[in-house]
Chain A
């Protein structure tokens, strides 16, 4: 069982928007603005999509956005494209004892 809870799967049609939730606790997501999101295509290494909750690395499409409310972080992908079909993982700093926790991952299917 992962420390952060994500839905196992989400789906959407091209052009639509989807949101993936990531629920933690007051010891991780709720206490730090250090949530990051990773995209992983089959057989490939993960790619950083969002860091510090809502910041996008250079080169990442502005269709990807992040937010947080309380103990839950969210990744929103707008204008869905076929290439967005992948697994998505959230990650949070969890303090000086546990350090880092990941969510179990969400499989995004573009219909």
Chain B
């Protein structure tokens, strides 16, 4: 059974940093691209970033480019999102999502339950 478990969310002040993690199990992690998708409270879905199976292809939404860094450790079956210079508008539930391809951008066939990031002073 595919499982994606996010962690690392919390309350953080504007301008500070936070690192999210996603622990994957139930599939061969290094065969697939992975993504972060976020959802602000009461709002819709927004793709944040994606990374190919070997980290050779990485993409970011314009809203986070230059501030967020996606990475993965295939030996640890883990996906990460380093978030710097956080803003109030980054407040959201952050989902880790699996791609059914080794290097692609959509779709997202499995999702975690999310980790909540709140940016506030």
Q: Which residues of A contact B (CB under 8 A)?
A: 2, 34, 36, 38, 40, 45-48, 51-52, 57, 89, 91-93, 96, 98-105
Contact B47 A36, beta carbon cutoff 8 Å: no
**Distance, CA A57 to CA B72, complexed state (A):** 26
Cα of A52 to Cα of B101 in the assembled complex, Å: 12
**Chain A to chain B contacts (Cβ below 8 Å), 21 pairs:** A34-B107, A36-B106, A38-B45, A40-B45, A45-B95, A46-B37, A46-B45, A46-B108, A48-B109, A51-B109, A52-B107, A57-B109, A89-B44, A89-B45, A91-B108, A96-B59, A100-B50, A100-B61, A100-B105, A101-B47, A102-B46
C-alpha gap A101/B44 in the complex (Å): 11
- Min Cβ gap B81→A in Å is 15
Number of A-B contacts (CB under 8 A): 65
Can you add 7 more A-B contacts, CB < 8 Å, to A45-B113, A99-B61, A100-B47?
A36-B106, A45-B114, A51-B100, A51-B106, A93-B105, A99-B105, A102-B46
Q: Which residues of B contact A (CB under 8 A)?
A: 35, 37, 44-47, 50, 59-62, 95, 100, 105-114
Q: Are B61 and A91 in contact (CB under 8 A)?
A: no
B112 and A45 form a contact (CB under 8 A): yes
Chain A residues contacting B59 (CB-CB under 8 Å) are 96, 99-100
- Write the nearest CB–CB distance from A27 to chain B, whole angstroms: 14
Are A102 and B44 within 8 A (Cβ)? yes
Query: Given A45-B113, A45-B114, A46-B111, is A103 in contact with B44 using a C-beta cutoff of 8 Å?
Result: yes
A38: chain B residues within 8 A (beta carbon): 45, 108
Q: Is the CB of B106 within 8 A of A100?
A: yes
